[in-house]
Structures are given as C-alpha cells and as structure tokens.
Structure 1
Amino acid sequence: MRKRKNPFKGRQFTSEVILWSVRWYLQFPISYRDLELMLRDRGVSVDHTTLYRWIQAYAPELERRLRPHLRPTNGSWRVDETYLKVKGRWVYLYRAVDSRGQTIDFRLSTRRDAQAAKRFFRKALARPNTVNPRTITVDRNAAYPKAVADMKRDKQLWRFARLRQVKYLNNIVEQDHRRVKRLVRPGLGFRRFRTAWRTLVGYETLAMMRKGQVKGIGGDDIVAQAAFMNALFNVAA
C-alpha cells in the first residue's frame, strides 16, 4: 500500500495547532481575527491570513477522510436550498437531511433550476452512507418535480420514490439552515465561489460530527471528536 502524503509537510506550525484551529473555526461562529486572538492568548502567534489558508487546505481533506466513517442516513429526505452571498451575488446552497436531522449531503450552485437540483440529487445518491429515498420532501419550487421525473425516467432514482411538496414538513431542514447562516455571519461574506465552497464543506463536516453521525463518536463528546479528528490525520493525541 502506498504511504499517504503527509498533509502538514512544510508547514511552519505543528499539526496539533493546525487541527485545533481548523476544528474551532469550523465549529463555532468566530472570525479569522477572533481565532488569531484566541491562539495568541495560548501563546501561538498566527496571522489571520494563515488561518484562512489552513481552512482552505484542510476543510475539504477533512471531509474526504471523515466520509467513510459516517452512519447510514434513512430514506426520508428533506431537501431545500438556502441563499448565501459570494462577491455580492446570491448563490444557492442545496442541502438535504433525513427525518432525524442527519445531514445527507450539500452542494453550492450558482443556479436554482431543475439541472441544479438533479446535480445535487446525483451527488447525494453517490454517497456510500445514503440510500435511494422512499420520500423526498421539498417546498413549492417547480424545479423539483421536473428533476425527480427526469431522474426516474433515466433510472437514476427509485421509480416508487414519492415527492411531497409540503412546506411545513421541511421545517427540520429549514431550521438546520440557521446553523450554517450563524457560522457564515462572522466572516462577512465570501469573495470567491471556490473559497465559499471549501469553507462550507468544513462547516457541514463538523456539523455531521456534532450531530453524532460518526460511528462510535457521541455528538456531545467533544473530547472524543477532537481525538477522532487527530486520528484521521495520523496525529498523536
């Protein structure tokens, strides 16, 4: 087996400091400058621009390493999209949770139409911990019926999957949007689509851990979560 490349090679700071910073930024509503001060209080001097680079580098890598450890989600999908600003323009964050509030998947898109919905559904279905849905609950967005019909026709979606356009049943995913918005707010928006996506991947990944979606790790056990994250990167506790 080929040895995995050390993701911390060449960094000025230790892997422990980097992972601590990444975990705290992605888990709590703080800015890069807030985190810079928190680290300084602990005797570590890191510029906020360096912290930004760490998030961009390690948030997607964290998701990639964590995905195989997720518990299966169920077949009752609650799908919705929320709005975020990137460089002053609105973009759409497609998100899906199951009936227990467990995150199924997410996708950032510049468009809100049937094609964007299909891309999101295909991405969610490709995850190893998801199942073909029995029900898909959405709002009154006309793009969803077309997307579901097209995917059933192309045999990408179970033909007996039931689409429900009932807004109040989607309260669970709409409430979940608030957590994302709360984390985004201290950063005062994003300047680039790629930057936004990489940061959002980190927010969603840490949220899955806090929801107890990682096998063998409690959602409230922050100590075990920190140890698990270190283990993912082969960092000694």
Structure 2
Amino acid sequence: MSSSTPSYKNHRYPVEVISHCVWLYFRFPLSFREAEEMMLERGVVVSYETIRRWCLKFGQAYANALRRRRPQPGDKWHLDEVFVKIGGVQKYLWRAVDADGNVLDILVQNRRDKAAARRFFRRLLTATGQVPRVVVTDKLRSYGAACREVMPSVEHRSHKGLNNRAENSHQPTRQRERAMKGFRSVGGAQRFLSAFTGISPHFRPYRHLMTAGRYRLEMRVRFTIWNRITGATDMPAAA
C-alpha cells in the first residue's frame, strides 16, 4: 500500500468492502440503504450508517487521488450555473469543465452575480494552477465582468449555443439529486458533489464512441486504477 493510500487503521471491515461500498454509492444512483441491501446479497453484513460514514471519510480522498491522475486540463474552459433547491431554498451550482468534458471544479453559492462569478474564477485558478486561453459561458453578464477583473488576458466567449458541454455535464448531478430527493444543506451538497464529480466520471468513459471490446478493456483499466488508489484487490464474489 502506497503512502498516498488512505489509512484504514482500526476499521473492522477490509479495504475491499469499504472501497466497494464507496464505489457503489458514488457510481450509481443508490441510497445508503440500497447499498446495504446489495452488500447483504453478497454475504456482507454492514449497516447503511456505516456506509454513510465510509463515504464521508473516504469519498473525497478517493476523488482527489483520481483527479491527480488525470492529464492537465485543456486551455478552453466551459462554465455554467444551474438552480438547485437545498432545504427548500434556491441556490446556484457553478460548474467548470474543459474541452474534453472533465469537471474542473464545482461550487454551490447563494447568488449568481459578479461577486459569485469572481469567487468561482479565483477558486478555479487555485484548483487547476493554470490560466485558460478561452473561457466559454452563457449570456450571464456577471461572467464577463468577473473575467475582465480576474483574468484580463483570457478571451471570453459568451454564447448560449457554444456552452452545451458545460450544460450537459449537469445531467449526472440532476439524476443523483432526484434519487436523493434533494440536498438538505449547502455543506452537504458541496461535500457530496465534490466527491461525486471526482469518482463518477472515472467510470463513465465515452461508451458510444467505443466498440464493446474496447469499452470492456477501458473499464478493466479504470477498475485497476481504482483498486490501486484505494489499496484494494478485487471484491470477492458472493458465496
């Protein structure tokens, strides 16, 4: 186990069970109780509350390890924001992806004004450690004002039709939001989405562009990477 692998000291269950539960929850639109039921079918008795704690403790660590293995993002970024109800109150989920659709960062904020756009731009620059060549957004004027202030040398393209890549990247989040019956707090939404956007895309290659054989080979590679960063071996089959 490498030094970057999370520590499982004092955990009663083996790493294979822990990593498999975290994978189930972040990869598929499952509740913790449904993940508990799936593990029971495999002969592993673990409570949904234990799975919840594992996801909180290890989800972000796994997501960060997967992000470190990604290539440097492209120099063309797509930004978008959508409405999201949290505890019955309307908030805004800001998202940035590169030209290949890789999520660069997400941020839940109360507003969609210039200050919010500026905060997101600065967070992006810190997270990626680089400045893009082009930023593509919708027609929200806050983007242009913030871009001129934070990244004056960057070309800003504002056009609704050019930003489909960022808008499409919200679809997996919407699917999970419906399965979870909404988010209950801003902090909880931020924590979940930060881990979710690091783990879920790893297991979502562009399947429609691959043959069945190529897809299976790609998924085997991705599962190998997952086992390496979690320190697990393959999950044993049900008895």
Q: The TM-score by the shorter chain falls in which range?
A: 0.7 to 0.9
Amino acid at match of 2:159: V
Deviations 1:186-226 (A, max 9, x none): 1112222222212111210123423569xxxx986333323
Q: Secondary structure at the match of 2:127?
A: coil
d(CA) in 1 for partners of 2:26 and 2:215?
15
Q: Secondary structure at the match of 2:95?
A: strand
d(CA) in 1 for partners of 2:5 and 2:203?
28
Q: CA deviation at 1:5?
A: 8.3
Q: CA deviation at 1:59?
A: 1.5
Q: In the alignment, is residue 141 of structure 1 matched against residue 134 of structure 2?
A: no
Q: CA deviation at 1:51?
A: 1.7
Task: Give the alignment's TM-score, normalised by structure 2.
Answer: 0.84
Given that 1:92 and 1:110 are in contact with CA atoms closer than 8 Å, whether structure 2 keeps it comes out as: yes
Deviations 1:173-197 (A, max 9, x none): 1111111111222111222222221
For residues 93-112 of structure 1, what are the structure 2 equivalents within 5 Å?
A: 93-112=93-112
Given that 1:211 and 1:219 are in contact with CA atoms closer than 8 Å, whether structure 2 keeps it comes out as: no
The size of the alignment, in residue pairs, is 225
Given that 2:118 and 2:147 are in contact with CA atoms closer than 8 Å, whether structure 1 keeps it comes out as: yes
Provide closer, same or farther for how the CA distance between residues 96 and 219 of structure 1 changes in structure 2, counting only shifts above 3 A: farther
Matched residue, 1:209: 202
d(CA) in 2 for partners of 1:230 and 1:167?
40
For residues 153-164 of structure 1, what are the structure 2 equivalents within 5 Å?
A: 157=151, 159-164=152-157
For residues 41-52 of structure 1, what are the structure 2 equivalents within 5 Å?
A: 41-52=41-52
Matched residue, 1:132: 131
Amino acid at match of 1:142: R
Matched residue, 1:84: 84
d(CA) in 2 for partners of 1:131 and 1:219?
32
Matched residue, 1:200: 193
Q: Secondary structure at the match of 1:127?
A: helix
Given that 1:32 and 1:187 are in contact with CA atoms closer than 8 Å, whether structure 2 keeps it comes out as: no
Matched residue, 2:211: none
Matched residue, 2:10: 10
Correspondence for 2:221 among 208, 221, 224: 224
d(CA) in 2 for partners of 1:61 and 1:92?
25
Task: Give the alignment's TM-score, normalised by structure 1.
Answer: 0.84
Q: Secondary structure at the match of 1:164?
A: strand
Amino acid at match of 1:222: M
Given that 1:209 and 1:219 are in contact with CA atoms closer than 8 Å, whether structure 2 keeps it comes out as: no
Deviations 1:115-160 (A, max 9, x none): 22122212222234x6412211111212111111211xxxxx2x33
Amino acid at match of 2:145: K
- Stretches of structure 1 that go unaligned for 5 or more consecutive residues are 152-156
d(CA) in 2 for partners of 1:84 and 1:197?
12
Provide closer, same or farther for how the CA distance between residues 30 and 174 of structure 1 changes in structure 2, counting only shifts above 3 A: same
Amino acid at match of 1:44: V
